[in-house]
A and B are shown apart, each in its own frame.
Chain A
């Protein structure tokens, strides 16, 4: 098989992979919100409430603590 053919297969499968990923991502976004696992729209508030003293939408230090407790 010459490199031209390899290139063709490579590009085809890579495109297919990315298309699957994109649609997977859409499904993931909407399904996880429907199930109530995540709320994406709340991230919009990061811009609205951005005082340095205000509570983060997702506190980094707090969530890291939780992850450590999980272990």
Chain B
């Protein structure tokens, strides 16, 4: 009965496909309905935070930092309450990471401030002696792409019903109307910073990457 399977490449390929897709059907699909429910009170990311998330992705922070606190005493002592599935409901993609060359960041907003991040991103060993993290000075001059972040917010609202307000529409006019709000958020962050170039850029209506990133990191609680 197995003879025909080995001789016919088409049936063979179908056989292989059935065998390898079984695990996915049983293990991956069934969870989809349940795991994506947000915890009570979870708010979607603001556009500035999303832009900061893009910076986090662009410079690939997950290479060294996790965002997943495991349910062990040593971890909850160090980083805070262990992570819950519903906290990640608006994370597209997830940024758990797989390696902790640096510490976990899932609740970094609870114990680090804007000026701490500013000094640290400029020169990590000056804040944490012995740190092997590189400085990210280019984030102070590069401009974050807030328009793309807005486009992402609108996309997840329309496609996945992420609860953004009615004013989030995919038109250019809607974006122009929303933009001042993003700049206002950026100004709040920049007010706690001391770098002159960053302050000037924000005054001029631009959002340096570092401002967006700090907005995102402060949000991680």
Contact = CB atoms under 8 A, between A and B. Distances in A.
B17 interface: no
B2 A28 contact: yes
A7 B30 contact: yes
Nearest to B1: A28
A14 interface: yes
Interface of A, helix, strand, loop or mixed by DSSP? helix
Contacts of A14: 22, 26
Nearest to B15: A21
Interface of A: 3, 7, 10-11, 14, 18, 24-25, 28-29, 38
B19 interface: yes
Q: Name the interface size band of chain B.
A: under 10
A25 B26 CA distance: 23
The 5 closest A-B pairs by CB, nearest first: A11-B26, A28-B2, A7-B30, A25-B2, A14-B22
B3 to A, nearest CB: 8
A14 B22 CA distance: 9
15 contacts: A3-B30, A7-B26, A7-B30, A10-B26, A11-B26, A14-B22, A14-B26, A18-B19, A18-B22, A24-B1, A25-B2, A28-B1, A28-B2, A29-B2, A38-B3
A62 to B, nearest CB: 14
A57 to B, nearest CB: 12
Contacts of A29: 2
